Structure 1
């Protein structure tokens, strides 16, 4: 079965923004600590690609950028993000367009980022635009929460991985290949090809305890599950919840990993 096309990422996550927001765990605090070490956010002009429900948007806003331009192609998610922001974040600007269609000034931003989103874009083309949008000396960062650490797989991951076979896989994790976000050589090569210098990679590993409802809710946000036929989707989600309760005593410890890539546009 073929994988999901890149265009699927523009509409896969907006069907129930509240459920998505509740189900997806936050990014580790260490991500934001690492960004603060290299990328000046306070008072800067910032853009985000694939803002979604704001899982990374709001933690960045806490650092008080002068402006944060959030690019979100799904109008449902863009509206949801705007409703969450309301008047509390006047520096937030939401652009409801795909990255390739968004009109941003060249050399106009100090910092840009994408959180669990950039795998839905053609890398060379998207990074060229990122490079042009940043000022000389500006920083780019991309990170992902990878839900299952292939280097230290937990027992639950090993038990349920076969249940996902037969679904149309996301570009984030293609069968037989290193997960997109953890293919460090490829990601660094993409950055260098686009003209970036000083690539820095941090790999953050963490474990979270989840009950059956949390496991089911998180899996329901995966693009390959969202795009499955309804009977197959419900069968999978029921099987995941049953495995937690019947085989793991109602809770599972999940090993997740968050790779963070940072790179600088030369000059400045």
Structure 2
């Protein structure tokens, strides 16, 4: 997605973001691929156990450069990966070359056609909020075989050091940045999946209201993540909030952020929270 992920999710859910924002990542597809964190092995195992594919294929919505695709493909999952940005899709094709069971479709999920195929799993990693809110559950249900699984997940991050958090907050305030990954301390995310400082967007209520899905579950995985200064700046530069800044302003905020990180040991320690939502088509 992303921005400082939950905040960007809220904006997309409330219709405050032009859909074109979801495709600014292609400007820096290689940087996105190198800088973005991956997903917990336990999350991948949980999804596959829940889906019980039995040889059926999966479809991935908004696959990006394959951060979520690769761990599933490595375990033998056959995937159709849908990615709206052709620049991201190009990197995705390269990254998935070792896996003949992966097919890449460049286009929007709303325009993609299953062509009579029924999938055992639909997954979306930090991309579901970009899908048309009025149609997404209908489209998901149409793509799935009876009993097929939906797996939606996000990687919010919380900073662990209050002193560093305060120093970075001063930089963000000075530059008008409101949704960076270091915006919140880890404590703001509570203890349960989807508890994101009161922000809307967690899909459980919407899915329950739709009525075509059952066996709803929410699971959280926690990992410690360290970024040195250069890697963290690359991560920030890959986010839509920073991509949309004028180049000179983006360079200035990144330079000021770098000075703070270097003054605090040359990096940042964060808690990476992989929050997973599961449901099953009736």
Q: TM-score, with normalisation over the residues of structure 1?
A: 0.85
How far did 1:189 drift?
Answer: 0.9
Secondary structure (helix, strand or coil) at the match of 2:241 reads: helix
Which one of the candidate residues 40, 46, 49 is aligned to 1:37?
49
Which one of the candidate residues 251, 256, 260 is aligned to 2:276?
260
Residues 108 and 135 of structure 1 are in contact (CA less than 8 Å); yes or no, is this contact kept in structure 2?
A: yes
Secondary structure (helix, strand or coil) at the match of 1:14 reads: helix
Counterpart position of 1:47: 59
Counterpart position of 1:159: 167
Which one of the candidate residues 96, 99, 102 is aligned to 2:112?
102
Most deviating of 19-28 and 133-142:
19-28
Q: Deviations over 1:96-122 (max 9, x none)?
A: 111111111466111010001112223
Q: Structure 1 pair 24/188, CA: closer, same or farther in 2 (3 Å)?
A: same
Secondary structure (helix, strand or coil) at the match of 2:275 reads: strand
Which one of the candidate residues 253, 265, 271 is aligned to 1:249?
265
Which one of the candidate residues 43, 53, 61 is aligned to 2:73?
61
Cα distance in 2, alignment partners of residues 254 and 12 from structure 1: 25
Counterpart position of 1:74: 85
Secondary structure (helix, strand or coil) at the match of 2:158 reads: coil
How far did 1:207 drift?
Answer: 1.9
Q: Aligned pair count?
A: 255
Residues 163 and 236 of structure 1 are in contact (CA less than 8 Å); yes or no, is this contact kept in structure 2?
A: yes
Q: Does 1:28 align with 2:40?
A: yes
Q: Deviations over 1:181-214 (max 9, x none)?
A: 5458852111112321111001222221221112
Counterpart position of 2:29: 17
Secondary structure (helix, strand or coil) at the match of 1:99 reads: coil
Q: Structure 1 pair 167/210, CA: closer, same or farther in 2 (3 Å)?
A: closer
